[in-house]
Structure 1
Amino acid sequence: FKMSEVAARRLIETNIFQKAEVVFVCPDSPQRPIREAVIRMEKTLIMATPKLRKGFIIIKPRSVPKGLEWKASTIRGAFKYGKLVNIPEVPIDLKVTGSVAVTLDGARLGKGGGFSDLEYAILRELGLIDDSTPVVTTVHDVQIVDYIPMTKHDVPIDYIFTPTRSIRTNVKYEKPKGIYLDELDKTKIEEIPILRNIISYKLRNRKNYNSAY
C-alpha cells in the first residue's frame, strides 16, 4: 500500500519492536521494510513460507552479510539466507501480520486464505506464542473500517500502524487458544505437513484421554 514504509517506521520506532528479540513477520510486500529492520538490528526473524507448505524460515542474527539486508528481507532472499525449519523452536516476542482491513476494536480481515490465523494457531499449539504476545499490523489509513465479523479462530490486532497514526486497539475479542479442528479445511490439512503432524498428535492425545475415562 502507498506509504507502507512510513507505517513500518512507526512500528519500528516503538518500544514493543525495539525490545523484541524474536520477531515473526508475514511474507507480504508491505511488511518487507519491517523484515529488513529486524535483520539490520540483529534480531531473530521468523517468517512463514508461502501457504506454510515448507514450514517456516528463520534468519538468525548476523547470518546475513552486511549490505544484503534488503535482499534477505524479500521472500527469495529469505530462502537464500535463512534456514527452513518445521518448528521455529524459539518463543516469539512480537507477531507482525498484513491486513486487508482492520477496526479500532481489533478485528482484522485478511486475504481470505486464513494463513495468518493458521500461523498463529500453530505457534500457539507449539507454545511459542501466548495471549501476552503483541499482534500488530501496518495498513493505510483507508483500511481502517467500522466493522468486521470475527470468529473464534480469527486473531485480533493489538496495535495498528498507519502512515499517520499509531493506534493501540480497544480489543474486545479473545485470541485463539490453538488449532480448532472443527473449523479446519481437509484440503489445507493435507497440503501443510506441520499441520498434519500437530493434528495427528492432538487426535492421538484426545483418543488416549477419552479411553482413560
Structure 2
Amino acid sequence: MKISADALLFDNDGTLISSLESVHRCWSRWAREYGIPAEDFARVELHGRPASDIIGDLLPAHRVPEARARIDELELADVAGGGVVALPGTVELLGRLPVDRWAVVTSANRELAEARLAAVGISPALLISADDITRGKPDPEPFLLAADKLGFAPARCVVFEDAPAGLAAGRAAGMRTVALTTTADRDQLVADVVVKDLSAVSVKATEGGLEITAGE
C-alpha cells in the first residue's frame, strides 16, 4: 500500500523498540511491592497506556502519585539492564527520514522515553511524552499535539503503532494508521494497513512530502 503524507508519528515501545523484558520485570516487582493480587494485575492492560492510568485501575486515587514515582524509578533504573533493543527496520527507516518530518509519541514519561531511545542510539528532534499531555492514548491528544508542533495537518500525518489503544488514538486524531504485529495479534489491530514491523515499510522523501510504501 502506498500512502502520501507530510509527517510520520511513531509510538515507541513495541514500534521502534522493545523493552518488554524490562517492563515485565519492573511492573511485576511493583505489583508485589504494592500488594496487588495476581489476578487483579493480570486483568490490567499494561501496553500502550500511561502509567498513571494503569495504576489508577489498581490503587485508590490518593496513592497514584507515590506509586507512579516508584514505577518510574524502577523502569528508569532497569534500562541499564540491557532489556531494550531496536526492533527490525527501525534504525534504517529513521535514518532515511528528514528530521523535521517525524516524531516519537509515547505513553512513557520523558526521562524514561529518552533513556530507552538513547539505549539504541535514537535521538528524535521531537518527542511527545506523558509529561506533555493531560489525556493519554486512546485519546487523540498526544498525536494532535505532535502534528501541531511539527506544523502539519492531522490528515497529512501517519501513525505507526502496535497497540490497539494507540491505533484508536490515531484514528480519533483523523490520521491514517499503520499497525505492527510486534505485540498483538493481527485480528486485534484496526488500521489502514498492517505489517509485521518497520522492516516492511519504506519511505521516499519528495518535494511534496513523503511517499510511504507499507506491506508484507
The two structures have a TM-score, normalised by structure 2, of 0.33
> Relative contact order (C-alpha < 8 Å, sep 6+): which is higher?
2
Q: Output the TM-score relative to the length of structure 1.
A: 0.33
